[in-house]
Structures are given as C-alpha cells and as structure tokens.
Structure 1
Amino acid sequence: MCRVSDSSSSSDLIVVGAGIVGLAHAVAAVERGLSVTVVERDERAVGASVRNFGHACITAQTGEALRFAEQARDTWLDLGERAGFDVAECGTVVVARSAEELAALEELARHREVRLLTPGETRSAAPVSADGLHGGALLERDLRVDQRRAAGAIAEWLATRPGVRFHWSTPVLGVADGLVRTGRGELRGDHVVVCTGHDLDRILPDAADEAGMRRCVLQMLQLRAPGLRLDPALLTGTSMLRYPALARTEGARALRDRLREQRPELLAASVNHMLTQLPGGDLVVGDTHTYARTPEPWSSEEFDELLLAETRALLGRDDLAVVRRWQGVYASADGEFLRARLSPGLTAVAVTSGIGMTTAFGLAPAVLDS
C-alpha cells in the first residue's frame, strides 16, 4: 500500500473507522455528493459490526433512536439490493412465557405496530417449546441483516463510487481539525468524523472521558441446531428489560421484580437472551453484558452455560452443539448516542447503547446535516 500523504489525499470528509457507523457516514456523504476517505486500522471490519445478531430492532426503540431506526430501515433495504447482501423483512417474534411478559407485549401493542400472537401462532412463527408458553408478538417492521457480510459488501460497493477512497490496515495516530495523522502519512479534509466505537479513548480520550464512556463486553455463542428453521429474530422476557419501549411497560417492571427473586443470575449477567439464524443454519445466541473502562480479558464459562441452558429450555432441544464462542464489545455511556463537535473540522460519533446496526444509517445523515 502506498503512503497517503500526497495531494490527492484531500477529501470533503475523512471517516476514521470502517465499521457500520463509519460506513454509514460514508454512505450519507456520497448521497450528498461529497468526496470521502475512509481510514481503518484493520484490513476489514472485525469489531462490533460483525460480532452481533444482524438484528435491526426498530419497533422497540423510543425517541430519537426510533426516528433513526425508521430512517435506517429504508437505507438497509436499499443497500442490501445495491451492495448484494441479504436483508430480510422477517420481523421479530417476542416470546411470552409468563403473565408479566404477555402484559408487556399487550401494552406495547397499544401504541406500536405489533401483532399479538396466541401460543399456537407463536409456535408457528418460531420453533419454541410449548412448555409454559403464554403467547407472543410479531414486530413486523424489524429486519434481519447478514451481519457477517454486510460491512464488507457495503465497503466494496462504496469503493466503486466516484470520490471514495479506502485506506485499510492504516493505524490512526492522531486527529485534529481537518487532519488525520496515520502510520502511513497525513490525510487532510474539510471535516473529520471519528467513528471508532469503544476505542474512541485511544484517539480522543478527553471526549471519551467527558461522555463517561466504558466498554460493554458481550458473550455470545454460535450453536448448531440440526433441522431448525428460524426466519425472524427471536426475543425473550429478558429482552423486554433492555429494549426501551418494552422496558417502560408495567409488565416489564413486574417481570424484573419476579426475576430478582426467582432468577437473580439472569439479572446479574445482564442477560438479553435472543436468537437469530445465520444463512448456513447455525444460531447466533446471546448475550450477557459486563461493563468496565478496561475489561478483564477472559470470558466466563458460567455465562456461556447460562445462555446454553436458556436456549435449550426455550427451544425444548438438548441436541444443540456449540460451534463458536466470542466476545463482542461496544461503547457504553449515558444516553444512546455520542456526538461531540470538538472543532469546526472534527467530530466524534459513537452509538453508546448497542444499537449501531439498528440506527447508524439514520444517525449519520443527522450528523452530516448538522
């Protein structure tokens, strides 16, 4: 790769980070007729943009996140067609296995586009066990994205657009107003947007400190489930405690009280037990959450076993085999988004609530237009 400090390196916008949030800013810039340079320390995206569920949970967001998610939905569908990766309008099935969970879904259905399901309809929509099943709901607006292909496909498509350049395997050493210093030389542009997620403190530590940013570490599993077919994403009661439109219901508050007494291990691990299916048939299962500025470097086998046991009970199957285990990491701070205008030509942006896939393509246009 050639050095980047030459006269052709000037762009209207320089994006630091080629994950989904960075790529969303590049896409929004191209739509506005701007020239764009994207700088990425790795040779491809390997962080939160590929270590997730591939789930755009639109319906259960609130406020600004809901507006961003609705806008991002249209962009995902368009990009899937243009860049050649799978985006499925298959929705989300939320399973209710208690009276409190069913009450939460019924409350959500009063003010959102949600179709309540009987126990039989729930089992027709998702292969869950009938044991203790009270019903469910279909969140029809939600999407499923091929998360392990999407970022790479979007980058490949962007690279064919006029005025777009990528510098892969290029570490960023520092940023300033309209300037990016890399291990391969300097890049200059009218504006720099830093989209490095939980690693913002590596480049702009003061901005990360001011936001109170920490790293949220997730434990996730890939499970082989012979013969199982799951088109929609699948959420459970613990998901109702994390997605804001559900978490604010009386049913979810009652559920949290009951789990505090009967299943405290789920709350201690901050479990959001949900499933999606990869194109090859394996299930992506997660996830647990721990928070620290500098997390411990090892995983908890207890957390993995908890996820596996919950999945076996949910599906009523004992033949699930672990194929892969991994940790995901995303930025966490007060609020759902960090947008810090540090100088006229320098902005830091991060999704600080684990909903980057859901909202990035709505967030990025708002950042550029501001």
Structure 2
Amino acid sequence: MVVGAGIVGLAHAVEAVARGLSVTVVERDERAVGASVRNFGHGCVTAQVGEALAFGERARGTWLRLGREAGFAALETGTVVVARAAEELAALEELATERGADDVVLLDAAGVGARVRVPGALGGAFLPRDLRVDPRAAAPAIAAWLAAQPGVAFRWATPVLGVAEGVVRTGRGDLHADRVVVCTGHDLDRLLPEVAEDAGLQRCVLQMLQVRVPGVRLDPALLTGSSMLRYPALSRTAGAQALRRRWESERPDLLGAVVNHMITQRPPGSDGAGDLVVGDTHAYARTHPPFSDESLDDLLLAETRSLLGVPASGVRVVHRWRGVYASAAGEFLRAPVAPGVTAVSVTSGIGMTTAFGLAPSVLDSL
C-alpha cells in the first residue's frame, strides 16, 4: 500500500507493479495537486551527483517507457545552461572535464544562439540526457495507466489518519497490506510528526510564474548562473564558488531569495502551450505565512526580461503559484516507522528527476 499519489508515491506503485505485486494507492485529494504538478517538468539528470545521479539515470529510462505506455510526452530535449560571466564558463568547463563530452557538450556563443535566444551569452553547455515532461499531464496519465493494471486500486479522496504494522487507518475505515510506504512529501509531519522532527523536515516554498512571451521558443530547459549555485554537480566547482563570492556584493537580491532562475516551455497540446514556466525562489520553514511576496515575482520577471532580451510589455503573466516540497538534510528521507512500514520523501526538490530511481531501492529494502 502506498500513501500519497504524488510522483514519489506513483513511482513506488509503478515499481510494485513491475515486481508483480498487488498495490493500493491511498490519496487524500481527488487527484495530485501538490509538488508533482507545480514544477518545471524538468528531469535534471546531469547536474546531480552521487546517489541522486544514479537514481536520475535509472529514472530516465522509466520516464521514457511510461511516456510511451501511459500516453504522455517525455521529451529528450536536453538542457541548455547559459553562461554570461567568466565564472559561469569556468564552472561548465570543469563539469565537462569531469563528465565527458557525451554528457556535457560545451557551446560557444553561436552554439547557444542556435538552441536558445539569449542576448549577451558568452557560451554555455548542452546537457543531452536531461528530459522534459508536462507535470500537469504526466501525474494523471501515470495514475490512469496504473489503475488499468491488474491488481492495482486507487482510493482517492481518502484521508489517512494513521499507519501501523499491516494497517492504514483512513477516514473511510481501515485498510490492510503486508507492506506500507508513506509518500506524503512535505506533509509528512501531518501524519508522522516524530519522524519529520527527527529528520529536521521543513517546507520549502517557491514562487513560480507562467508567462506568455510571443516569439520565444525553448525546446530544451534553460538554466542560468543561479542554477549553477543550486545543482550540486555545478555548485561544487571553483567557478560556481567564485560566482557566489562575487554575487555576495553584486547580486544579494538573488542570493537572499535563493533564486534558481530557470525556464521551461509548456509543450504542444498542453494548456497554455508555448507559455514559459519561470522560477523560482526558495524559502524554508516548517510553517509559512500564507502570503506571496510580489517583490519576488518582480525579481523573477526582471531576470526573465533581461535573460531573453524582451521589454516589459513583451511578458504577460498568465498564472502565479506557490510550489512546495519537503526539505531536510540530505536528498532523500527513508525512515522505518513500524515493521513493514517505511516513510519516504525526496527532500531536495528533485522528486521528478529521481523518484523512479529511488522507488526500486526502497522496495529492495522492504
């Protein structure tokens, strides 16, 4: 039994089906509405390290298979990381040396321009192994595909009140299973507060935007220097560390808001096809105030206009939202709760990238 039908919970259900197990997914809402649909749809494989890199590489194949079988677009568009400063170029060169030309393709200014229109780019890199999906379509498509498999059941709109060995207590009565995986993400403390407290779990709240910029086409995801300060394969380079030192005096606004300025484009056939998903800022606390800060949206919009070289009148906001994910030390929480019961959460904002690689390791441990 899986508690939670976000992408992490669905990944565990997919892996259970692959192993010939029966599986029931219990979800408090009528559909996934949390972190799994409020993100960029970016499978950021190459910029990870260690266990996250291994999980991302394994998840990549599962995403491509599910795209075919469940009927949603999983696109091998890759990522362009644009460099507009010498330190950023140095960081990308260090990563290319470490990973090799198959994973990191260095670009000069013309090479960047052939893929994305970014005025003032000194160069960049293309990460061909990264993927792009539409998160608003992928999660429901995977749930529908699972529901059609033998031995799979969903209990939607069913709040879980407690878990113990062999049982999940819900607002609709008790459910029984040999093994239980709790995948409630940032709301783990609502169900298992002591597990969340032991892990130091907080909520990371993001501000994100969907904007319309006529004439802009971005097949790959687009990352910037601020992304190099966020993703571990780049942030540990000497170039990124030098960039952070310079930004401490020159761009304290970006550092203070913990900005990862990146952009993906809504895919053809989607709601808002061609619009750009722009983000994101990061704030950490167990309980956040319910109010968005307009100055953070203004910062993201200004950075987007500067990056793409468009006037203020050329960017129209279509949607604004607050994303949220679980944050704790390390990238993954895997905590035994009771015999046969495990709590699992991706605690670093890379659930879309890694969940389908994480799930097999969790089922191996049960």
| Same fold flag (TM > 0.5) | yes
Offset, 1:228? 1.4
Task: Return the match for 2:75 from 85, 88, 91.
Answer: 88
Q: Find out whether 1:225 has 2:209 as its counterpart.
A: no
Percent identity, aligned pairs only, is 72
Hey, what's the Cα distance between the residues in 2 that align with 1:233 and 1:135?
Answer: 16
Query: Aligned AA for 2:315?
Result: L
Q: Find out whether 1:102 has 2:82 as its counterpart.
A: no
CA RMSD of aligned residues (A): 0.6
The answer for the alignment partner of 2:178 in structure 1 is 190
Q: Find out whether 1:361 has 2:356 as its counterpart.
A: yes
Task: Return the match for 2:290 from 297, 304, 308.
Answer: 297
Offset, 1:134? 1.1
Query: What are the within-5 Å matches in structure 2 for residues 202-351 of structure 1?
Result: 202-279=190-267, 280-318=273-311, 319-351=314-346
Offset, 1:227? 2.1
Q: How many residues align?
A: 355
Task: Return the match for 2:55 from 61, 68, 82.
Answer: 68
Task: Return the match for 1:24 from 4, 11, 19.
Answer: 11
The answer for the alignment partner of 1:152 in structure 2 is 140
Offset, 1:123? 1.1
User: What are the ranges of 5 or more consecutive residues in structure 1 without an aligned counterpart?
Assistant: 1-13
Q: Find out whether 1:36 has 2:23 as its counterpart.
A: yes
Deviation digits for residues 142-197 of structure 1, max 9, x if unmatched? 00011110000000000000000000011111111121111111100001100000
Task: Return the match for 2:115 from 125, 150, 155.
Answer: 125
The answer for the alignment partner of 2:42 in structure 1 is 55
Normalising to structure 2: TM-score of the pair?
0.96
Normalising to structure 1: TM-score of the pair?
0.95
Hey, what's the Cα distance between the residues in 1 that align with 2:241 and 2:166?
Answer: 47
Hey, what's the Cα distance between the residues in 1 that align with 2:321 and 2:165?
Answer: 37
Hey, what's the Cα distance between the residues in 2 that align with 1:284 and 1:98?
Answer: 24
Hey, what's the Cα distance between the residues in 2 that align with 1:299 and 1:39?
Answer: 31
DSSP-derived class of the 2:287 partner: coil
Query: Aligned AA for 2:9?
Result: G
Hey, what's the Cα distance between the residues in 1 that align with 2:320 and 2:117?
Answer: 23
Hey, what's the Cα distance between the residues in 2 that align with 1:237 and 1:179?
Answer: 48
Offset, 1:124? 1.0
Deviation digits for residues 66-86 of structure 1, max 9, x if unmatched? 000000000000000000001
Hey, what's the Cα distance between the residues in 2 that align with 1:126 and 1:369?
Answer: 42
Hey, what's the Cα distance between the residues in 1 that align with 2:283 and 2:217?
Answer: 31
Offset, 1:345? 1.5
Runs of 4+ in 1 over 2 A off after TM superposition: none
Hey, what's the Cα distance between the residues in 1 that align with 2:122 and 2:332?
Answer: 35
